[in-house]
Each structure stands twice: as C-alpha cells, then as structure tokens.
Chains A and B, each alone.
Chain A
C-alpha cells in the first residue's frame, strides 16, 4: 500500500515536472502550494513508512487500530515515517504531510498524524492534530503521550511504540486524557510513608511518653521572682551578610521523562491550523 502511494506521488512529480522537485522538497508537496486547497482523499493510506521501520504484519495491526479510532470517534489517524524532514521542523513537516495528503475526516479535517523522523542528527517524533482533534492534544496530554512513547523510541522498538501510541490515542479520545500510571503516584506513596512515619511516631510516642511522668526538672522559671529580670546590656554587633541564590524549581520539571516541544497552535505550509508536540531521541 505504502509503495503504491509513494509511486503515485513520485509519478505525479515526474508528470508535472516541477522545478521544485529538488532534494529538499518533500515528494508529497503539491506543485503550487499557494493554489492548494484542502481536500478529502479517502483512499490515502494511513501508514506511510518511508523510513522502513515496520513489517507488513505490524502495519496491518496498526491499520486495524487506526480504523477503530476512525469508526469510534470520527477522527482520522495517520502514521508517517521518513529518513528526513526536508529542512522543515518536524511539526511543520507532520502538519504539511497531513494537510497535503488530504487526510482528516469531516468538514474540519479532524484527526492527527504521528511523524517519526529518522534523519541523522534530527531524530525525533511529532504528533500534530487538526480540527476538533486539537482539543485533545493539550500540552499535558501530549507530554503524557510522549512519556509513553519515548522509551520505545529510544530503544528502537518503533512498532511496539506506535501500537501503544495508537491504543493511547483511542483512550485519549474516549476519556479526554491518558490512562493513569502507577508511577505517576510515586510522590503520593512517598508522602504517605513520610506522613505515616511522622504521625505514627507522634501518635505512639505521645502515648508512650505519658506512661513515664518522672523527669528531671529543667529551668527555674516558676521560681523566678516576678519582675526581677533586668537586662542591663543588649548590644547587637553586626558582622557581615552572606547571600545565597538558589534557582527556583521549575513547574515544568517532569519526573521520569523529558518535556515535549509543544505548540498549542501553529500553521502548516498550506495554512492549516494544528496543535501538537514531540521530542527528539
């Protein structure tokens, strides 16, 4: 399927013989971007593996999951891999591929694309969403998606990563968020242990201390003659001042993962509005 699509696009470029068909121009770019108009290409394949990361059976499995998302929620879903990003940012490349490929369902071309770029020195991925799908691709959700995807990408386990990704997108559309992870609650467990220790020692310790009321007397405040204290000298001699500058903890410091390069709204080369984010690996 992928090869057919690639061949068709390549043929289109040859037929139109555009001067723009130089090395840095994506082969799937339209001849004249300024004249480009959005269209629905229902026949477009949803998995374009130009970086050759997946086997046929894996692609088939992915396609099943994509179909399920389309059926259940009416949002399109595309996976695109390439060995370069054609001099574009990964975000714009992903958005351009989605728009120029005629992807998206409904009047607003709702859906998203996951672009995996295997270009040396520019390896990374980007999820770009268009139309109503954008409302799901919030910064928190994109970060959560990328947290789940990152270990797969870093370990070279691309197919499993994408399969997980597709499942997570289905969950995201269903619940408006990603499934909770137990590891997200590490700090809650640590808080629970620390609080329990403090309360346990206090609760049991106070009861224990009440069992022994024999102690040495400290101080003689009760035996001071009222009003007899007289401070005859009270000098405060200033010596020096030391200054310590501590960096503020950043709100976006995340545990167990990096921070996604997120954009709430950006435009593709074709003028479409997208949201999304991704990371390098």
Chain B
C-alpha cells in the first residue's frame, strides 16, 4: 500500500504541520518548511501519477462509486519497518511503534483527493485554555469536577465533510389567519379573518457542511460549525502530517438529505414570514432542488475525551476557530437549588408583604 512519510530534508526526522506557523516543522532540528517546499521535496515518497485528481461528484457517481476498491488495511512503516494495521478509511495516522506520521496516499487518489482543506489554526497547546473557557459560566458543574476530571485523550483530526450547494424552488400553500380585537360595550369582540396563502420562491445555498464520516457523531460535527471558508486552501497531504484523518465513508447521496432538510427549513421560513399572519397549517408544498454542487473537504477538529467519575464526556473543538462543544456532567443538587431559588425569593417577598398587611399597616 502506498504511503507518504514527511521527513525533515535537513535531518531526516519526522515533521508535522504546526498550526502556529502554518508550516511543517521538525521537532528534532527545529527547521520549518512551507507546504510548497514539501510538495516538491525529494523526501516525499510514494506519490502516484494520478495524485492530483480531485474529487468530482459526477465522475464519482459514474465511475468510482460502484467500484469496490480492494483496500489493504495494513502498511509497512518506512521508519521502523513495523507492520501497522489501519482502519480501511484511515488517510493519516501515526505509527504506534515509532510515532512516525504517515499519509496513506492511496486513499486520496483516484478521484478521492479532497477538493480543499482548512488547515488547523488552533494549536494543541491552546486547548486547555479553550476548554477552561468552555467551563466558564457552567453553573451546574459538580464542585469536584476540576479536581476529579481528567482530559484523557486529545486528538487533532481532519474530518471529511461534504459541502453542498443547491438552487431551491419552493411552492407552499398555507392556512393562515389574522385577528383583531376591540371593545363593544360589555363585550370584547375578536374578528378572525381566514386566508389561504400561496407562496412561490427560490433561493440559492452554498457550502452547507455535512460530515462524511459514519463514525463521527453528526450532532457533534453540526455543533462545531461555523467554519470560515476563506481559509480553504487546495488539499495537500502535507497538512495532514501530525494529525489523524479519515477519508469519507458516507457518500454524498447518503448525506444529501441532511443538507436538504436544512435548506427546506430555511426556504420555508422565508416563504412563510408574511407579516401580520399567524400560520395555522400547511396545505401542501412542492420543493425542487437543482444545480446541486458537492465539494469534498477536510475540516480540522480536535476531539477530547474527558473522564469524570468513570463516565466519558467527549468534546469537540473547532480547529480553526477554537469553538468548544460538548456535554458536561450536571450536579443535580445545584440544579434544584437554582430551581427553588425563585420560590424562596418570591415567597419571602410575599411573606414580608403579608407581615406588613397583617401586623404593621
């Protein structure tokens, strides 16, 4: 299996992408190299001739999707010679024996090369601060959370994403009403006028991100949005050096529904935001999607496993913006204290008022 190992041209030690410098750096001799330098470097090995063929959905649908790629799941580490097993979707990994960074180039060839990548901008050193900011103002954290929880694993991962774009034309038929109330002697009169609203419109969407990895939690990946696409650069395997990366294992056809659902929500809101009406029901709808565009990109995410009282809590950190998302343990005693605080305050005020009414006034 073809693999690429990025090594320092000066000393031959493994080199990894450094977000702070936006270059590959050698931890052994301290040399730094731009991506362009590495791409042309003689130290780069195992590059196939079709390496530069990027993903194209039409081509993928016609030629690639139905081909069963006979992918081996082991490779020989060029640094230490060990036979290393990988997941069949692994694109970038580390040798567990010598910690050498390896890019399995075969999995980014043959039209499977990502169209673009957002390189990591947040360094792993900045993560504790980002996580501590995430803990701020979390009022229900258990008292001993900081002393008893441990960040077990921090992994920088390039997650495969589909970026969907489309032109959407929609027709909606809605039941709606508009009410006015006025006084008429001893009565309040409410006049409700009933309408059918017929709406048609269109809208364009671009680059809606949907993660293309089955094993990645969809909600977790939705939550690390948004990414600033101005940082998208043409894909180079060199960006993956020092990080983990998988190729997509869920093709665009299977993930398109998630982008479509989001587009439908938005165009429906636009079409129904008619001032002055209360929409009471939907009579019918017709939505057509055309000019569907798909890009295959790699987006940077740090995955952090935290353990507290034997339970694992997973956080994800947007590797570009530093946004942290996740689920934290809740101290129920603190929850109920907050729940009853308004009771105590309100009834203390009522009691004071009644004392005034009954005993002072």
Say whether A and B bind each other: yes
Residues of A within 8 A of B (CB): 179-180, 182, 185, 188-189, 192, 195-196, 199-201, 203-204, 207-208, 210-225, 228-248
User: Which of B10-18, B36-44, B340-348 sits within the interface?
Assistant: B340-348
Q: Is the CB of A239 within 8 A of B195?
A: yes
Q: Is B278 an interface residue (CB 8 A)?
A: no
Q: Is the CB of B183 within 8 A of A241?
A: no
CA distance A201 to B339 in the complex (A): 6
Q: Is the CB of A241 within 8 A of B191?
A: yes
Q: Is the CB of B262 within 8 A of A243?
A: no
Q: Is B48 an interface residue (CB 8 A)?
A: no
How many residues on chain B are close to A (CB under 8 Å)? Answer: 76
Given A204-B339, A211-B138, residue A229 in contact with residue B220 (CB < 8 A): no
**Shortest CB distance A37–B (Å):** 42
CA distance A199 to B194 in the complex (A): 36
Chain B neighbourhood of A210, CB < 8 A: 137-140
The 7 A-B pairs at the shortest CB distance, nearest first, are namely A199-B342, A233-B200, A228-B204, A217-B222, A220-B262, A225-B204, A204-B339
Q: Is the CB of B223 within 8 A of A215?
A: yes
User: Which of B80-88, B104-112, B205-213 sits within the interface?
Assistant: B205-213
Q: Is the CB of B346 within 8 A of A237?
A: no
Q: Is the CB of B186 within 8 A of A247?
A: yes
Write the chain A residue with the least CB distance to B225. A217
Chain B neighbourhood of A211, CB < 8 A: 138, 140-141, 327-330
Q: Is B193 an interface residue (CB 8 A)?
A: yes
Q: Is the CB of B195 within 8 A of A238?
A: yes
Write the chain B residue with the least CB distance to A203. B338
Q: Is the CB of A244 within 8 A of B196?
A: no
Residues of B within 8 A of A (CB): 137-141, 171, 176, 183-184, 186-208, 217-220, 222-223, 225-226, 259, 262-263, 265-267, 269-271, 274, 277, 316, 324-330, 334-336, 338-343, 346-347, 350, 353-354, 357-358, 361
**Shortest CB distance B163–A (Å):** 9
**Shortest CB distance B296–A (Å):** 17
Given A219-B269, A230-B201, A242-B192, residue A199 in contact with residue B346 (CB < 8 A): yes
Chain A neighbourhood of B265, CB < 8 A: 218-220
Write the chain B residue with the least CB distance to A246. B188
Q: Is the CB of A244 within 8 A of B140?
A: no
Q: Is the CB of B266 within 8 A of A219?
A: yes
CA distance A55 to B1 in the complex (A): 115
CA distance A237 to B329 in the complex (A): 52
Chain B neighbourhood of A200, CB < 8 A: 338-343
Q: Is the CB of A236 within 8 A of B189?
A: no
Q: Is the CB of A196 within 8 A of B201?
A: no
**Shortest CB distance B192–A (Å):** 5
Write the chain A residue with the least CB distance to B268. A219
Q: Is the CB of B274 within 8 A of A216?
A: no
Q: Is the CB of A247 within 8 A of B187?
A: yes
Q: Which among B139, B218, B259, B340 is the interface contact of A220 at CB below 8 angstroms?
A: B259
CA distance A192 to B350 in the complex (A): 8
Chain A neighbourhood of B346, CB < 8 A: 192, 195-196, 199
Q: Is the CB of A223 within 8 A of B201?
A: no
Q: Is the CB of B202 within 8 A of A220?
A: no
Q: Which among B183, B194, B274, B338 is the interface contact of A242 at CB below 8 angstroms?
A: B194
Q: Is the CB of A243 within 8 A of B204?
A: no
Q: Is the CB of A196 within 8 A of B325?
A: no
CA distance A192 to B347 in the complex (A): 7
Chain B neighbourhood of A196, CB < 8 A: 342-343, 346-347
Chain B neighbourhood of A230, CB < 8 A: 201-203
**Shortest CB distance B218–A (Å):** 7
Given A211-B330, A232-B200, residue A203 in contact with residue B193 (CB < 8 A): no
Q: Is the CB of B199 within 8 A of A234?
A: yes
Given A223-B206, A228-B204, residue A233 in contact with residue B325 (CB < 8 A): no
**Shortest CB distance B227–A (Å):** 10
Given A219-B266, A245-B188, residue A214 in contact with residue B327 (CB < 8 A): yes
Q: Is the CB of A212 within 8 A of B190?
A: no
**Shortest CB distance B350–A (Å):** 5
